[in-house]
């Protein structure tokens, strides 16, 4: 294994000079820098991560804790993870993967052992048991999601409240007056993850603001439940012409159930979904939708963390504005 002293000898300088060339923390003459770089290349030198971490108390590794729970859209989690890794690499950091299962002990372990410099935690609950721990750690962290009490914590997420509202506004603009939200399974609201409730609130608020009629219907993530709910909705509310679906597994079923009941989409009923773009694009018909900008959330989370590591002040809360993409499933209301 080639070490810094080998490079130093080869370049005719001291080890500390090599270190300063690498870190740029002191000025080095152009000529020396060139020679050192050349030696590094020639010898194929890579600093030993452990030694570096020991001497500098920086591991250049971030921890990412991902959720496992059912009801969490796996592809979205994956997108997050990939975007976090990609963003971390841009800052010359690596990512250590932790599962929710490891819980607080896992976070404490990697933080206290100095395995990681900072932490990103996904799928934050309203009353998340990890929050006190994160507050007590001496390492910075960023939460993806908003807990009930976010004091002293840095959070980022899609603005779900605005997302609910933006869907309503879209339907309102198209002239729909009677709409409904087919929501997440009841346990998701009960679990107090927050985002489901925020969508519902944003929906309800916008419904009021626009003088529409519309209400919220939690729905189990099964085809049967979705069909049953659609049937009930159509029976109870014959004037219904707009539906917002915030329940990924059943979006396809909802559309098919509407059609089975003789309603054309979008001619008779407009459908808007909150789901990954990929899913919306491949649906039949392609669905107007608001997606979670996983890519951006992950990237921004890393940026926030990097800023905190450098001691820069960062906003406590970052809400990303929702973007509604119009596709074939929504159209002006008939008269």
Rounded Cα distance between 128 and 155, Å, is 13
Burial 298-315 (b: 16+ CB within 10 A, else e): bbbbbbbbbbbbeeeebe
Rounded Cα distance between 308 and 10, Å, is 38
DSSP, res 287: P
311 lines the binding site for DNA (CB under 7 A): no
85 lines the binding site for a second copy (CB under 8 A): yes
Unique residue bearing structure tokens 């439940």: 225
In the complex, the smallest distance separating the C-beta of residue 86 from a second copy, rounded to whole angstroms, is: 7
**Contact partner at residue 316 from a second copy, DNA, none, CB < 5 to 8 Å by partner kind:** none
47 lines the binding site for a second copy (CB under 8 A): yes
Dmax (CA) for the chain in angstroms is 85
Shorter beta-carbon distance to a second copy: residue 102 or 205:
102
In the complex, the smallest distance separating the C-beta of residue 135 from a second copy, rounded to whole angstroms, is: 17
**Contact partner at residue 22 from DNA, a second copy, none, CB < 5 to 8 Å by partner kind:** DNA
241 lines the binding site for DNA (CB under 7 A): no
Q: Interacting stretch for DNA, rule CB under 7 A, among 2-10, 139-147, 149-157, 314-322?
A: 2-10
Residue 194 corresponds to which tokens in the numbers above? 């927050």
In the complex, the smallest distance separating the C-beta of residue 73 from a second copy, rounded to whole angstroms, is: 10
Interacting residues with a second copy between 271 and 310 (CB under 8 A):
282, 284
Q: Interacting stretch for a second copy, rule CB under 8 A, among 56-64, 181-189, 295-303, 306-314?
A: 56-64
Interacting residues with DNA between 156 and 195 (CB under 7 A):
none
In the complex, the smallest distance separating the C-beta of residue 77 from a second copy, rounded to whole angstroms, is: 7
Beta strand pairing call for 324-325 and 288-290 = antiparallel
Select from 262, 261, 265 the least CA-distant residue to 242. 265
17 lines the binding site for DNA (CB under 7 A): yes
Q: Interacting stretch for DNA, rule CB under 7 A, among 5-13, 75-83, 230-238, 285-293?
A: 5-13
**Chain-centre distance of CA 250, in angstroms?**
21
Unique residue bearing structure tokens 């979008």: 266
Unique residue bearing structure tokens 């059609």: 259
**Contact partner at residue 215 from DNA, a second copy, none, CB < 5 to 8 Å by partner kind:** none
Rounded Cα distance between 328 and 22, Å, is 54
Give the total of residues touching a second copy (CB under 8 A): 45
Question: Residue 258, exposed/middle/buried by CB under 10 A (0-12, 13-18, 19+)?
Answer: buried
94 lines the binding site for a second copy (CB under 8 A): yes
**Contact partner at residue 16 from a second copy, DNA, none, CB < 5 to 8 Å by partner kind:** DNA
Q: Where are the alpha helices (DSSP H) in the chain?
A: 4-11, 15-23, 30-43, 49-56, 74-90, 103-112, 130-136, 160-173, 186-190, 195-209, 223-236, 251-260, 277-282, 294-309
DSSP, res 29: -
Interacting residues with DNA between 34 and 93 (CB under 7 A):
45-48, 51-52, 54-56
64 lines the binding site for a second copy (CB under 8 A): yes
Q: What angle do CA 175, 177, 183 make, to 5 degrees?
A: 110
**Contact partner at residue 26 from DNA, a second copy, none, CB < 5 to 8 Å by partner kind:** DNA
Q: Interacting stretch for a second copy, rule CB under 8 A, among 39-47, 161-169, 198-206, 327-335?
A: 39-47
Interacting residues with DNA between 113 and 152 (CB under 7 A):
none
Among 25, 27, 50, 211, binds a second copy (CB under 8 A): 50
Q: Which residues bind DNA (CB under 7 A)?
A: 1, 3-5, 12-20, 22-23, 25-33, 45-48, 51-52, 54-56
């Amino acid at each position: 294994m080639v070490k810094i002293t080998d490079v130093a000898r080869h370049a005719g300088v001291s080890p500390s000079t090599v270190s300063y060339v690498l870190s740029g923390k002191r000025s080095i003459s152009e000529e020396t820098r060139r020679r050192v770089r050349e030696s590094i290349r020639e010898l194929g030198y890579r600093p030993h991560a452990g030694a570096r971490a020991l001497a500098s108390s920086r591991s250049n590794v971030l921890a990412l804790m991902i959720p496992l729970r059912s009801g969490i859209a796996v592809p979205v989690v994956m997108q997050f993870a990939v975007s976090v890794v990609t963003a971390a690499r841009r800052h010359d950091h690596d990512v250590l993967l932790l599962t929710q299962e490891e819980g607080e002990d896992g976070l404490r372990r990697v933080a206290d052992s100095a395995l990681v410099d900072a932490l990103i935690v996904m799928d934050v609950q309203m009353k998340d048991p990890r929050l006190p721990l994160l507050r007590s750690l001496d390492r910075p962290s960023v939460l993806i999601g908003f807990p009930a009490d976010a004091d002293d914590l840095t959070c980022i997420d899609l603005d779900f409240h605005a997302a609910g509202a933006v869907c309503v506004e879209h339907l309102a603009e198209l002239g729909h007056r009677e709409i409904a939200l087919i929501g997440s399974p009841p346990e998701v609201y009960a679990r107090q993850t927050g985002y489901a409730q925020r969508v519902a609130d944003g929906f309800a608020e916008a419904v009021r603001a626009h003088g529409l009629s519309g209400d919220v219907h939690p729905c189990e993530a099964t085809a049967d439940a979705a069909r049953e709910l659609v049937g009930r909705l159509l029976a109870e509310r014959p004037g219904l012409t707009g539906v917002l679906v915030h329940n990924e597994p059943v979006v396809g079923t909802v559309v098919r159930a509407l059609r089975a009941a003789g309603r054309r989409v979008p001619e008779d009923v407009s459908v808007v979904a909150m789901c990954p773009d990929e899913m919306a694009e491949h649906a039949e018909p392609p669905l107007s939708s608001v997606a979670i900008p996983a890519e951006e959330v992950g990237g921004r989370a890393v940026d926030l963390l990097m800023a905190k590591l450098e001691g820069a002040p960062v906003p406590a809360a970052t809400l990303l504005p929702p973007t509604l993409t119009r596709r074939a499933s929504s159209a002006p209301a008939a008269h």
